[in-house]
Structure 1
Amino acid sequence: MFDVISIGHVRSTLATRADAPRQADEGAPSAWLELDPAFAEAAKDLKTGDEILVLTWLDRGDRTALSVHPRGNPDAPLTGVFSTRSPDRPNPIGIHRVRIAETGSNRFRVDALEAIDGTPVIDIKPVLGGLGER
C-alpha cells in the first residue's frame, strides 16, 4: 500500500460537478492553485508563463465505477473507464495541462481549469518540450 498526500487545493468559481465543463477547452475559468506552505520550496522555480501538468485527486468521483456512459450521455454505450476521461474511476486522478497566469505567495493562478473548488492537488510537473528532456 502507499499514501498519496495533498500538496494544496484548487480555488475556483466552479462549485459543483454540474458547474464544471467536461474539458478545460469547453469554457473552464481560470483558477488558483493554493499550495500548503510546507511545499513552497518545491514550487520556488515556477513562474508566470510556465506550462505545467497539475495532478488532482478527483475526490467527488465514484471510485466503484468501472464503466460509464462517455460524457454523461445515456445514449452512448457503456465504456470502460480506462478508455475515458471520466472522474469516476478506481483511482480518480485528474491530469490538467495549464499555463501559469499569475504567481503569489504559495499560490498560482492558472488559465482554464475544469477542476472544482476544493479539489486536492497531489502533484505539479513541468510540460517538457521534447523527448528526452528532464
Structure 2
Amino acid sequence: MRPIGRVRSVLAARADAPRQADEGAPPAELLLDPEYAAAAADLRPGMRIVILTWFDRADRTTQAVHPRGDRERPPTGVFATRSPDRPNPIGLHEVTVTAVAGTTITVDGLEALNGTPILDIKPVLDAVADR
C-alpha cells in the first residue's frame, strides 16, 4: 500500500482533533501527488467523497477504549468504535469538496491531522448517478 498524498490541516496534535468531523473539524486540503492528476480530474466542488487515510500516529496496540474518552464508561472493543487507535488504523471520512486546484482538493470538516497519509478517495455512491 502506498499513499496517494497527504492531508494539510491546522490540526497538529491528536489532542487538538475533534473525535468526529461534525464536532467542529476544520476545512482541510488533500495534497495529492502530481502523478494522480488524471485520477482527480473529475472532482468538482459540491461532490461528496469518502477519503481513506492511514492514522499513522495511532496506537496500533489498542484493542479497547473508553467510549468518547469518558473513563466513567466501561471499555469497548475498538471494532465497535470510531477510535483512531486500533490494530490497522484506517480513517474513513465522508466530506464535501469545496474547491479544486489541480491536485489540491479542499474539503469541509476533516478530523485528520496535518500530514496524515491519504490512501484513496471514492465518491459517495448516491452522489454518482451516471457511473
Deviating above 2 A after TM superposition, structure 1's stretches of 4 or more consecutive aligned residues are none
Structure 1: state its 5+ residue gaps.
Answer: none
**Which residue in 2 is equivalent to 1:99?**
96
Question: For residue 97 of structure 1, what is the amino acid of its counterpart?
Answer: E
Structure 2: state its 5+ residue gaps.
Answer: none
Taking structure 1 as the reference length, what is the TM-score of the superposition?
0.93
1:121 Cα deviation from its structure 2 partner: 0.4
- RMSD, matched Cα: 1.5
1:41 Cα deviation from its structure 2 partner: 1.1
Instruction: Count residues with an aligned counterpart.
Output: 130
Deviates more, 1:92-101 or 1:41-50: 41-50
Give secondary structure in 2 for the equivalent of 1:18: helix
Taking structure 2 as the reference length, what is the TM-score of the superposition?
0.95
Give secondary structure in 2 for the equivalent of 1:40: helix
- Asked if 1:60 is matched to 2:82, the reply is no
Match of 1:71 among 62, 65, 68: 68
* 1:72-95 Cα deviation digits (max 9, x unpaired): 111111110000000000110000
CA distance in 2, matches of 1:44, 1:133: 16
CA distance in 2, matches of 1:15, 1:127: 28
CA distance in 2, matches of 1:114, 1:62: 17
CA distance in 1, matches of 2:6, 2:106: 12
Give secondary structure in 2 for the equivalent of 1:129: helix
